[in-house]
């Protein structure tokens, strides 16, 4: 009896598990295994989008989530040099430095993005922390120069009274026209700069812990260098009480910024991303005071003693990335708007971050033969079918004949509505978001690069099921889509840019104008590029750009 009860319970548990497992099957399985044998069947429709390139003359580089500095040599696209121009802000206004204040040192500290990998104690009993640097590209040195800038960065555009935007070519234009202002005072230079992943260990005088050992302060890897004391003494300590330090506007007009200039060495270099939110310049100074609290415990509260203090300057407000890209001449010619086939599409799609280029994808804009062998607009034809869309995806193959595969290939690409600047509905419905690891985020919608056994990039797959479903139901307009590289798919904001466009993008003979367009910030902060197959005549059939729609249809149709 007990054995029978046990078997009954086991059978019930197995049945429940099987039921839940069946419920978790996706809709494709339900459609083919259950409905397909009755009144429905699953089918596939393949659409051929029109796709072509849009290159940018310049893009917005103020207000970025992070900033690049250095020299990057893309094996396909060419060399890009990145500089930074930034305002600074003191932690307090009307600073009082104290009696007989003397500036001891001025330290520039710009942390790298790094990950702590190990902590151990060596044979001497010292704690050693090791780090792995993130976002460092290249291993060769570049020339780094740091200047005090006297070029005023305004907050508002006088023509519109809106926030002043700065663009990738602004700093280079300023240097060309106002070089002496941009580089007013050279503060630091390194003819062969390579970022180090070593922990920074600073030894100072013994503190008040009654220990005889030097006090040690540890920092994660950073660009940490000393700046000239005499210059900052004249700029800060000698001006104590002056109006320049009374408020932020006066200060920004007086001390207008810091310019970080990168130059290639033997046409090579390295590129790094900098954590500007935690970067600063700190003034360390000593001053005299009356020891009213008898801190030295000598029985007197009238002694004159020395004390130490700091004044921190943070990088804030207007920060601009300068980008100077010497684009491969062949590619530069390929992406010119005059050379884009807006009717049939291009054979190659050039996606390049920074001030580079993106692709435009036009879905369902042509005509197809309908059931009466008559030409009909493809979108109108599809909207009449009343299909139940199970899956819709675009597979974008990498042109391996033109690309140098490996670490220089971007891990992610990004698609968005080019007319509304918003992401597609599939992005909103993707719950694989990973804030800690953007490279592994939103992977159902925006698949990571797929690599072969030789680690060469083969293709990207973008799933746009919800977008196509709403499009065929007539719930949204058929807008052109933008396709770009992405350094961080979690970033949704867009940058302004200027690109050459046709006044009528359906007419190749229409006028060409330089127009204001948008591009994702995640593309602007990306240094990488890729080349994808489009749908021109010479593209191999198995590599052509296609939109595959899997749907369920009633057998009664």
Domain boundaries, the chain: 45-58+328-554, 78-91+110-228+248-279+315-323
How many CB atoms are closer than 10 A to CB 60? 24
- Among residues 51, 227, 198, 72, the alpha carbon closest in space to that of 133 is found at 198
Decide: residue 87, CB within 10 A, 0-12 exposed, 13-18 middle, 19+ buried: buried
Task: Evaluate whether 214 touches 204 at the Cβ level (below 8 Å).
Answer: yes
CB neighbours of 88 closer than 8 A, spacing ≥ 6?
Answer: 255, 257, 258, 281, 313, 314, 315, 316
What is the pTM (predicted TM-score) of this model? 0.88
Match 């009896």 to its residue by tokens: 1
Report how far residue 432's alpha carbon sits from residue 490's, in angstroms, rounded to the nearest whole number.
11
Within the chain, which residues score under 70 in pLDDT?
A: 1-39, 204-214, 292-300, 302, 555-557
Match 């259950």 to its residue by tokens: 34
pLDDT the model gives residue 8: 43
Residue 207: both structure tokens together: 């503190």
In DSSP terms, which residues pair with 268 in a beta bridge? Answer: 265
Residue 189: both structure tokens together: 């230079």
Report how far residue 143's alpha carbon sits from residue 5's, in angstroms, rounded to the nearest whole number.
81
What burial letters (b/e) apply to 511-527, b meaning 16+ CB within 10 Å?
A: eeeeeebbbbbbbbbbb
Report how far residue 158's alpha carbon sits from residue 37's, in angstroms, rounded to the nearest whole number.
69
pLDDT the model gives residue 209: 52
Task: Evaluate whether 424 touches 417 at the Cβ level (below 8 Å).
Answer: yes
């Amino acid at each position: 009896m007990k054995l029978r009860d046990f078997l009954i319970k086991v059978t019930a548990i197995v049945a429940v598990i099987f039921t839940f497992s069946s419920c978790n099957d996706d809709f494709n399985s339900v459609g083919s295994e259950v409905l397909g044998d009755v009144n429905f069947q699953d089918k596939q429709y393949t659409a051929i989008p029109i796709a072509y390139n849009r290159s940018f003359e310049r893009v917005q580089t103020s207000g970025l989530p992070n900033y690049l500095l250095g020299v990057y040599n893309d094996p396909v696209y060419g060399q890009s040099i990145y500089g930074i121009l930034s305002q600074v802000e003191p932690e307090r206004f009307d600073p009082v430095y104290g009696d007989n204040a003397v500036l001891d040192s001025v330290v520039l500290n710009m942390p790298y993005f790094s990950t702590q990998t190990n902590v151990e104690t060596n044979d001497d009993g010292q704690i050693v922390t090791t780090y792995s640097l993130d976002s460092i590209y290249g291993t060769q040195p570049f020339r780094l120069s740091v200047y005090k800038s006297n070029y005023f960065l305004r907050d508002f555009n006088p023509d519109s009274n809106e926030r002043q935007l700065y663009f990738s070519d602004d700093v280079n234009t300023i240097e060309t026209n106002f070089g002496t202002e941009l580089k007013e005072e050279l503060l630091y230079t390194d003819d062969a700069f390579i970022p180090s992943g070593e922990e920074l260990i600073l030894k100072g005088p013994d503190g008040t812990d009654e220990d005889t050992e030097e006090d040690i302060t540890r920092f994660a890897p950073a660009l940490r260098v000393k700046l000239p004391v005499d210059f900052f003494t004249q700029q800060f300590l000698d001006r104590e009480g002056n109006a320049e330090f009374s408020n932020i506007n006066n200060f920004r007009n007086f001390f207008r910024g810091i310019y970080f200039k990168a130059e290639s060495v033997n046409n090579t270099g390295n590129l790094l991303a900098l954590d500007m939110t935690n970067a600063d310049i700190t003034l360390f100074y000593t001053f005299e005071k009356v020891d009213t609290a008898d801190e030295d415990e000598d029985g007197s509260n009238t002694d004159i003693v020395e004390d130490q203090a700091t004044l921190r300057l943070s990088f804030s407000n207007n920060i601009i990335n300068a980008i100077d890209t010497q684009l491969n001449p062949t590619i530069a010619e390929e992406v010119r708007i005059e050379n884009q086939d807006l009717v049939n599409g291009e054979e190659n799609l050039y996606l390049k971050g920074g001030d580079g280029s993106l692709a435009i994808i036009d879905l369902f804009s042509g005509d197809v033969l309908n059931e009466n062998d008559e030409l009909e607009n493809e979108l109108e034809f599809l909207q009449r079918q009343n299909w139940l869309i199970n899956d819709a995806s675009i597979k974008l193959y990498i042109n391996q004949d033109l690309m140098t595969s490996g670490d220089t290939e971007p891990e992610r690409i990004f698609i968005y509505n080019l007319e509304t600047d918003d992401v597609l509905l599939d992005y909103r419905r993707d719950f694989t978001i990973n804030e800690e690891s953007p490279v592994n985020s939103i992977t159902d919608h925006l698949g990571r690069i797929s690599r072969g056994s030789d680690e060469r990039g083969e293709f990207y797959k973008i799933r746009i099921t919800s977008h196509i479903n709403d499009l065929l139901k007539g719930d949204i307009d058929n807008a052109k889509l933008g396709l770009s590289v992405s350094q961080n798919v979690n970033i949704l904001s867009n940058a302004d840019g200027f690109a050459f466009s046709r006044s009528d993008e359906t007419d190749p003979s229409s006028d060409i104008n330089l127009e204001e367009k948008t591009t994702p910030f995640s593309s602007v902060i990306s240094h990488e590029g890729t080349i994808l197959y489009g749908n021109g005549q010479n593209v191999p059939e198995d590599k052509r750009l296609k939109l595959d729609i899997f749907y369920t249809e009633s057998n009664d149709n």
